[in-house]
Amino acid sequence: MIKYKRILLKLSGEALMGESGLAIDPAIVNEIAAELKEVKEMGVEIGVVIGGGNIFRGLSASARGMDRVTADYMGMLATVINAKALQDYLERLGVYTRVLTAIRMEQIAEPFIQRRAIRHLEKGRIVIFGGGTGNPFFTTDTAAALRATEIEADLVLKGTKVDGVYDSDPMVNKDAKKYDELTYLDVIKRRLRVMDTTAITLCMENDLPIFVFNLREKGAIKRIVSGEQVGTKVHGGEDD
């Protein structure tokens, strides 16, 4: 029994990196693809927004003197590279997949059109959204919230390296407190590092819950879509 029929998974580019130092670790990408295949076979429609930080991070380049608009467009291109890599591993597992991009590049991906994306989902294809929002100055967190709203997803899943949201960095502070649930306003007021403020506000305005969870925890996505409490849930404060 699934609680959420259509989901949007937000992956950072760093999620594709392993201990080997490769920007795209084949073993890691294969693990993610296998997990998504299992979730799809439950009857869940899946959209994915992927970052590009494992290849190029626009904000960092801008801080070192590169023009911000140029740097952001380079970061968007990096997300398309990651999207194609994930598509390849999904299709090796027999999962029909489409990459849709915010920047037109028809030779390697379809342009993003809302109705086309929804139609792909309805046909059981996993849809990977590359190119961020297609605009500089916006993060892939914002792209995830935007695409989730456009495809009418039931929730946003944000895969991270830790098992939820903490009041401080659990990698540094062993006494960090984990939150099981938070409201959108809690995240904004406490400046918790869940997603950027634009993304959180967009989710709040559209009553779109967010689950922050450990991507490396096997079966976590399946448990979330089945209605289990996994990681940290960010929502409007009511039972949704």
pLDDT value, residue 239: 54
Burial class (CB in 10 A: 0-12, 13-18, 19+), 2: middle
CATH code of domain 6-235:
3.40.1160.10
Phi/psi for 161 (5° steps) reads -90, -10
Does residue 17 sit in helix, strand or coil? coil
Average pLDDT, the chain: 93
Percent of the chain at pLDDT > 90 equals 82
DSSP-derived pairing of the beta strands 155-160 and 6-11:
parallel
pLDDT digits (tens, 9 = 90+) for 64-90: 788 999 999 999 999 999 999 999 999
105 CB burial (10 A radius; 0-12, 13-18, 19+): middle
Which two tokens mark 83?
A: 């999207």
Query: Which pLDDT score is estimated for 240?
Result: 55
- Name the nearest CA neighbour of 186 among 137, 122, 234: 234
Report the 10 Å Cβ neighbour count for 107.
Answer: 5
- Alpha-helical runs (H) found in 123-157: 140-150
- Is a pLDDT exceeding 90 seen at residue 161? no
In this model, does residue 181 exceed pLDDT 90?
A: yes
| pLDDT tens, residue by residue, 99-157 | 999 999 999 999 999 999 999 999 999 999 999 999 999 999 999 999 999 999 999 99
Question: How would you label 12-34 residue by residue, b for 16+ Cβ within 10 Å and e otherwise?
Answer: bbebbbeeeeebbbeebbebbbe
Domains of the chain, by residue range, sit at: 6-235
Question: Residue 62's pLDDT is what?
Answer: 74
Q: In this predicted structure, which of 89-98, 164-173, 227-236 has the lowest mean pLDDT?
A: 164-173
Give residue for tokens 């830790």: 162
Lowest mean pLDDT among 168-177, 178-187, 207-216: 168-177
Residue 94: per-residue pLDDT = 97
Q: What is the pLDDT of residue 105?
A: 95
**pLDDT, tens digit (0-9, with 9 covering 90-100), for 9-38:** 999 998 898 777 789 999 999 999 999 999
